[in-house]
Every structure is written in structure tokens, then in C-alpha cells.
Amino acid sequence: MDALAREHMDREWTPNALVNVVPLSKKYTFDLACKLFLDVVDVEDIKRLSDPFSLATQGMLGVPINLPGMAYNRAIRGGKMIRKELIRIINERRKKLLEKKETRHQDLLSKMLLVTDENGQFYSEMEISNNIVGFLVASFDATSSAVSSVINYLAHLPHIYEQVLKEQMEIAKSKGPDELLTWEDIQKMKYSWNVARESLRLGPSSQGGFRETTTEFTYAGFTIPKGWKTHWTVHSSHRNPEYFPEPEKFDPSRFDGSGPPPYTFVPFGGGPRMCPGREYAKLEILVFMHNVVRRFKLEKAIPNEPVDGLAVRLQPHEN
């Protein structure tokens, strides 16, 4: 992750005085996912996946009307293109593994091709592609949204940025110029992770989720029958003043010690259905923060406006 983040900074950030964070964070997270999940690094190969993914994710929550010109129709076409490209990659990798021409891959795809189900059968191309699509969707949208939210607050709040910079530079100074981050370095990023969590509290990647009630219950004077669909919102949970005093204030110290009570801070959900990519997202966010702040001072080009691509001015640190 650190090596790819450095390459991304050199290519997409360093040559520019002004960047739009949202599209660049999507590019970073998707490129990283292609490398870690599929060992795909060629620009054109990634583009054959990223372009249709843009179509698919834009229409995932659109009105489900399958007519030309509708976002839902474009999402279906994008999904077919994604499936076709993934099946091609899977078949090519399977052939190499069977012929023992490919031994260096340690990515998710190779692992999935080599494991069997409870009946001793290898998973089909469609089963593997379904799983890969799930991972890529999360990487393309949710994680990039989290990264953008963190950068938004770092650019908006100089006093928070300075504390993150201090922590990250202490880590950087303990290493050689070309030495990559280690797991031990990540464990030292306590304040940075508090900042990331507070960013996710105020700007969660997911807005909530649906569940079906398994038994009738009463809440706040309302009776919810068994079998009804309920929608829980992350936004209202994260701004509950009972658990987050002055809920609109950006305050990373909320997460000092044991942090807020269980099921009050839920950007990754909670309980047995908590997002399985939580630790992956944490690692990705912290590595990105490290590489941004140790290179640049950040300033929002449009104050109080994070929507239009999140334009940020970059001022390189003096060596």
C-alpha cells in the first residue's frame, strides 16, 4: 500500500498546485484494489475495469427503470462489461495456475482459484467474479469516500492538520528515505486514526442500511410489525448529543481511551454483520494520510464546499 501510495503521489499530486481530491481518491483506491485483489497494474487493464465501474456505481441507487438514457440502464451495461473483463482475467489466471506457469501471485484472485468449497469443488468463474465485484465496489466507492472526507477536514482545520503532521513526521524521521511503512508504524498513528474516525463520524461513507424485523416491537411510541423493513441512518446515530456532546464540532479526542459506547459510532456497521473490510479501510486511510501530510500543506480552494470534487491547493514542505 505504501509503495503504491508513493507512486500515486508522484504521478497525480506532486506535479500539481491544485488537485480535485474526490476523483483522485477514487483512482487511488481502485488502482490499489486492482493490484491487491487481481494483481492488475497495467493502466489500460485497470481502465477496462474502472470505466464500467463508474457507470455501475452511478446507477446502483438510481430509479430501477431499464430504458436507454437512464442511470439504471447504464449501470446494467457497465455491470456486463465488468463481468466480461473479470471472467477473462479469471480464466487467464486459472490457465496459468493449472499449467504451473504462474507462481508469483499472492493476490486474492489466486487464493480464490486454489481453494475449494465444503464439497471439495473449486469455485466457478461466476462465483469468484461475484466476490471480486463486491470487493471492488467497496474499494471504489466507500473507501474513496472515507479518504476524501479525511482530506476535507485536514484541509479545513489547520490545527488538526498540524497535530497529524507532527505525528506522521515523527514516524517518517525514524525511517530511511526509501524505507516503507510497517505494521508497527501504523500502530503509532493513534492521533491520526482518531482524526480519521472523527471524519467518518461527521462524513460517513454509508448512510445506513435496511433490515427486516424478526419480531414485532415498539420504539419511541411506534409499533413496528414483524416482517417490516426498517432503515437505520448512520447520520443520526453519529450526531446523537447523548453520546457525542456538541455533535457538530470536530473533536478527535472523543475517541481517546475506550471511545464512545458500542453501536453509537458505526461507519462500518456493528455486531456480526460489521463490514469485513474495516481493517483494510483503516490501513488504506492511514497510509494515504501519511503520504499526503508529509509532502504537502493543504488548503481548500473553495471554503466550506466539499462537493465539487473537493479542490485543494498543495504547498510542498520545504526540505
Q: Which of 260, 312, 234, 268 lies closest to 25 in space, CA to CA?
A: 312
DSSP the chain: -HHHHHHHIIIIITT-SEEEHHHHHHHHHHHHHIIIII----HHHHHHHHHHHHHHHHHTTS-----TTSHHHHHHHHHHHHHHHHHHHHHHHHHHHHTT------SHHHHHHH-B-TTSPBPPHHHHHHHHHHHHHIIIIIIHHHHHHHHHHHHH-HHHHHHHHHHHHHHHHTS-TTPPP-HHHHHT-HHHHHHHHHHHHHS-S--EEEEE-SS-EEETTEEE-TT-EEEEEHHHHHT-TTTSSSTTS--GGGGSTT-SPTTTS-BTB-GGGS-TTHHHHHHHHHHHHHHHHTTEEEEESSTT--SSS-EEEEEEPP-
Q: Which of 148, 108, 115, 154 lies closest to 131 in space, CA to CA?
A: 108
Residue 275 marked in a binding site: yes
Beta-carbon-side half-sphere exposure of residue 75 (alpha carbons within 13 Å): 15
Residue 215 and residue 165 in contact, taking contact as beta carbons nearer than 8 Å: no
Give the annotated binding-site residues: 275
Give the annotated binding-site residues for heme: 275
